[in-house]
Amino acid sequence: MQNQQKYNINLGVKFEHLKKIDIPTIVGENKEKWFNQTLTRVNESVVRIGIVEGEFHWHKHENDDEFFFVLDGQLLIDLEDQTIELNPSQGVTISKGVMHRPRAPKKTVMLMFETSSIEPTGD
């Protein structure tokens, strides 16, 4: 996919169980426009942090639901027939098979909960 070069997506688990995860430190150390890091594994799922600004490409996940939760900033998730606006302390689950495009008009920090086998850039 042509746009993938601008995304910094890290699938390796950064924090094992019982290790403290400090979101402000992670955000402060990040210099990327579109950064995604797997923080920890919870059973067969993972928790990822996204620090994003700009837009991702249109994609879908045929076999996996995806949950987005905004900590800071604003995330817009375009669907084929609407746009969902998420502000701090708001979240939404995107059902498997639904075409979507996340975008952030300003620097946004979010958590994502999804299966560990999901391909973040889509199927």
Look at residue 68 and tell me if it is in a domain.
yes
The stretch 73-91 carries a mean pLDDT of 98
Look at residue 36 and tell me if it is in a domain.
yes
Other beta carbons within 10 angstroms of residue 5's beta carbon come to 7
Report angle CA 69, 112, 17 to the nearest 5 degrees.
Answer: 115
In this prediction the pTM is: 0.92
CATH of residue 78's domain is 2.60.120.10
Mean pLDDT of the chain: 94
CA distance 44 to 41: 7
Residue 1 has pLDDT above 70, yes or no: no
21 Cβ contact partners less than 8 Å away, ≥ 6 residues apart = 15, 39, 40
Look at residue 121 and tell me if it is in a domain.
no
How many domains, the chain? 1
- The range of the structural domain enclosing residue 105 comes to 2-115
Look at residue 122 and tell me if it is in a domain.
no
Taking only the tens place, the pLDDT of each residue in 14-61 is 999 999 999 999 999 999 999 999 999 999 999 999 999 999 999 999
Identify the band that residue 121 occupies on the pLDDT scale cut at 50, 70 and 90.
confident
